[in-house]
Amino acid sequence: MRHRTIEDVMTREVVRAPRDASFKTVAGLLAEHRISGLPVVDDEGRVLGVVSETDLLHRQAAQADARRGRRPRPLRLTRSARVAAAKARATTAEHLMTAPAVTTTPDAPVTEAARTMRRHGVERLPVVDRQGRLAGIVTRGDLLGVFLRPDEDIRRDVGDQVAAALCQPRYLVDVGVAGGVVRLRGHVERRSDTGLAVLVARRVDGVVAVTEALGYRLDDSRPLPAGVSPGHM
């Protein structure tokens, strides 16, 4: 089974903005295409950063504070506050964007991209080629689509992968799947094989969780008596 990669789920036609796009142009692109963010690229199509609705809203927040007579105190501003203040004054995409952009590549596994999104707290990842040029974009919704795989497809893949990893006939481990949750029952050779079976099953696309009730012939977590080999157990 081939694991899904970003190339399988990404959107190839990407709404983007040049670095010199005006504030109004960027806001118009977000509204027209009903998206919450877009990449900013240079003349060669290389990704420079990402502009989100949050970046644009700094302007509104600053204007609201001005109407209330509030003025920032520069000496007490944190780094994030200084960034927000700069974006509130920005008039082009280059100064509005968050840079450098957190990106991924077409051949990256979907699971790796999901971890990247979670680690950086972002909702989208521009997909770039080896030269850093924009090749597509992937969102959280695109990644969640992996978990919509039919249970029967997951069951078949888990059975095949576990049997191959343990080098034993497929029928020795019964695989059941309900709502993406995998249940492993049956027998394996060694106690350590139970952990391997669970690990292999978890790596199959679409698996939400794994439970096991596997019996084993040899408990290899304990040292063998002197003079006894595994084949004589």
Q: What is the pLDDT of residue 56?
A: 87
Q: What is the pLDDT of residue 231?
A: 54
Q: What is the dihedral of CA 28, 33, 39, 41, to 10 degrees?
A: -70
Q: CA-based angle 44:46:49, to the nearest 5?
A: 135
CB 87 within 8 A of CB 62: no
Strand duo 37-41 + 47-52: pairing = antiparallel
CB-CB neighbours of 117 under 10 Å: 19
Q: Which among 47, 45, 42, 30 has a CA at the least distance from the CA of 100?
A: 47
Query: Where do the H-state alpha helices sit in the chain?
Result: 6-9, 23-33, 53-67, 79-89, 93-96, 110-120, 140-144, 151-166, 191-202
Q: What is the pLDDT of residue 77?
A: 58
* Domains, the chain: 6-146 (3.10.580.10), 149-225 (3.30.300)
151-166 vs 191-202: helix axis angle to the nearest 10? 140
Q: What is the pLDDT of residue 224?
A: 59
Q: What is the pLDDT of residue 81?
A: 60
Q: What is the pLDDT of residue 79?
A: 61
Q: What is the pLDDT of residue 75?
A: 45
Q: What is the pTM of this model?
A: 0.67
pLDDT tens sequence for the chain (233 residues) = 557 899 999 999 999 999 999 999 999 999 999 999 999 999 999 999 999 888 888 666 545 444 555 555 554 556 666 665 666 677 899 988 999 999 999 999 888 898 899 899 999 999 999 999 999 999 998 888 888 889 999 999 999 999 999 999 999 999 999 999 999 999 999 999 999 999 999 989 889 899 999 999 999 987 756 665 555 45
CB 137 within 8 A of CB 12: no
